[in-house]
Amino acid sequence: MKVQEKQLYTVSVYTENNIGLLNRISAIFQRRHINIESINVSVSEIEGVSRWTLVINLSEEQIKKIIGQVEKQVEVIKAYYHTDEETVYQESCLFKIKSDIFLNEDKIQIIIKESNSRIVTVSKTFFVVEKTGLKEDIESLYNQLKPFGIMQFVRAGRIAVTKNPMEISQMLEAFNA
């Protein structure tokens, strides 16, 4: 029997917005000892429907089973999985750094400019840099800024859209008509 290799999948889950759903969905992964690399929940293109974006490292056989379990939740309308090649995705992060470093160190200004980052706020004691890009871009910027002393760092989960149309939109529009 051939063992399937694990790879990163982006999972899109369309749901009703109900209390307790996060606990039930995360329990599906917890029971199987599967780590969720990132998770993001937002409104979707369909009014009243939330879209979850999860990143999971599994084999295709495992991801198909997980999708089946997720879709058994009453509030879940539909779940899909996609490879990185099938999606356009980004992550976003914020770095909080002491202001005196920015004013006294030209190199940090060059790093910010060359990384296509932007400064979102400046105060007397700190400034905040925002970076949107691929995980590798964010990790590279983190490594460049680390020697200057990062006061705080936060990275949001992956957001993604598929390159091909998603039939969920048409399906729900027809249902709501």
Domain match, 66 and 100 both: no
Which of 35, 66, 82 terminates a domain? The answer is 82
CA dihedral over 9, 78, 33, 60, signed as positive or negative: negative
Q: Mean pLDDT over residues 91-120, rounded?
A: 90
Which of 38, 56, 82 terminates a domain? The answer is 82
The CA distances from residue 174 to 80, 103, 137, in Å, are 19, 57, 40
Domain match, 44 and 76 both: yes
Within-domain flag for 170: no
Q: Is the pLDDT of residue 65 over 80?
A: yes
Within-domain flag for 142: yes
Q: Is the pLDDT of residue 35 over 70?
A: yes
pLDDT band at 10 (very low <50, low <70, confident <90, very high): very high
Total domain count, the chain? 2
Domain that holds residue 137: 88-159
Within-domain flag for 171: no
Would you state the pLDDT for residue 28? 94
